[in-house]
Amino acid sequence: MLDRLVNFFSEPSYLVALAFGVLALGYAISRPEMFIYIAAGFAVLVSITPPTLFDPLEYIPLWGPLEGIRSYNRFFAVIGGAALLVAMTAAGFRLVGGLYPSAKLLLFTHMLILAKNLIYTDDYTFVVVVFAGFVIVAVVFSILFQAANTPTEAFSLYLLFILATAAIFFSANLFQFYVNRSAMFVVGGRFHGITNNPQMFVISAAPLLPVAYFVFANYRNLAIRLLAAVFVLVMLYWCYLTGSRLALLLVVVGATAYFQMRLEEIAAVTAIGLVAIAVISNFDTGLEISSNSRILTTTDTRTDIWKNQWEAFVSNPLFGEPIEGGGRLGFGESTWLGAAAGLGILGLLPMLALFAYTLKLTLRLWSSPHLFETSSLRAMVLSVVVVAMAGTFFEAYLFGVLTLPMTLFLATVFMMERVDQLSLPSGPLPA
């Protein structure tokens, strides 16, 4: 493991990227408002993890530094996150009042994961580094949103963060698509972008689509609105190339939540997406929908997995299923059943508490429209939460290595908690 870290620092391109990061952090110390953009870049970069659907020797490397980040993702998450935390502290940011309740619930679950992995696994370094990465990110985003002194400031910080995240994620994927698009497809032809599998790309992209709807509806600058439209069209096309039915589900869920059952607008977005896919597909892009695509199939690929997870929980209700062969804890394709199967009732209860708490926060904010400057901002926040929560039923992205969906989830919930704290002088919003 130490040898890999030495190799990372011996590559000139990685050293240039590292120097750029250090300079950016140094600049941000004198201009603290820059930290929100650095945090967005960090959130995207930590999502670049090695593909999980085939042997690492078989996949095509990404462009230069992107492949370096992918190869050393866990180190980058810890070292980069720690540097960001140190720079924020030097700029005067402080963690006041401790972590938010949502962070504590997730931290407890991650501590259980760490403990169980340390008991069973032979790869102690991996599990400790993954746990450290989660802790650092939770602290960084807690500090960022605690800097807001009013609900309006909290919404502004969140809007800047998610806009920057969408722009950086889109730009990184677009650049790699231009340089070498074959590196963005798993064996069999399904698109995964710069993430580690098609489902992870979908869960990363789907919460960002409502952000583009918001920009298109609220910004008067024609160029910005055009960019938002291009973002939506290209993202829909990439989601189509994943061949994932989850893409169709989350896109529809996000559009429905944003447009709040205004059927004519949902139909318009759907029609635009279908036309864009049809038009782009007629160009000679060198890409066709994979023969492994599941978008239009009715094959059940999840029920057996969920059934096995439930049976594992029933067989080992207290601590979850034992890990065999010195491996690491896995969670399959569901956050909730994964927690039950892997951690038992000890891990399931805090996750159910997190679900109930997030739902309560969302309903509180939704019932307080006066806190939002515009109805479209309110709709955007709701749709991001709904899409993020829907994704947890199909991918256990709140566990394991850091991902963009996990970071988006943390930022969204932390923002809601900060708004909740600041809404009334006497305490949180009434239930």
Reported as a single tens digit per residue, the pLDDT across 365-381 is 888 888 887 888 888 99
Residue 119 pLDDT greater than 70, yes or no: yes
- Which of 80, 53, 86 is CA-nearest to residue 68? 80
At residue 290, the pLDDT reads 47
Reported as a single tens digit per residue, the pLDDT across 139-182 is 999 999 988 888 889 999 999 999 999 999 999 999 988 888 88
Read off the pLDDT of each residue in 313-333 and give the average, rounded to a whole number. Answer: 74
Strand partners, 427: 424
- Report how far Cα 191 is from the mean position of its chain's Cα atoms: 17
At residue 410, the pLDDT reads 92
How far is the C-alpha of 29 from the C-alpha of 264, rounded, in Å?
A: 47
Domain parsing of the chain, residue ranges? 2-422
Residue 291 pLDDT greater than 50, yes or no: no
Read off the pLDDT of each residue in 42-69 and give the average, rounded to a whole number. Answer: 72
At residue 2, the pLDDT reads 54
Residue 352 pLDDT greater than 90, yes or no: yes
At residue 99, the pLDDT reads 86
How far is the C-alpha of 380 from the C-alpha of 318, rounded, in Å?
A: 39
Read off the pLDDT of each residue in 201-218 and give the average, rounded to a whole number. Answer: 91
- Which of 189, 170, 175, 169 is CA-nearest to residue 60? 189
**What proportion of the chain, given as a percentage, has pLDDT over 70?**
80
Tokens of 27: 């600049």
Least confident of 16-30, 251-265, 284-298, 390-404: 284-298
Burial environment of residue 132 by CB neighbours within 10 A (0 to 12, 13 to 18, 19 or more): middle
Read off the pLDDT of each residue in 216-237 and give the average, rounded to a whole number. Answer: 89
Which helix (H) or strand (E) is 356 found in, with range?
helix 345-366
**What proportion of the chain, given as a percentage, has pLDDT over 90?**
20
- Contact call for residues 157 and 202 (beta carbons, < 8 A): no
At residue 206, the pLDDT reads 92
How far lies 331's CA from each of 39, 148, 318, 334, 399, in Å? 27, 35, 16, 7, 8
At residue 416, the pLDDT reads 92
- Contact call for residues 341 and 332 (beta carbons, < 8 A): yes
Task: Give rounded-to-5 percent helix, strand, coil for the chain.
Answer: 70, 0, 30
- Which of 134, 126, 73, 85 is CA-nearest to residue 109? 134
Least confident of 145-159, 164-178, 238-252, 312-326: 312-326
pLDDT bin (cut points 50, 70, 90) of residue 295 is: low
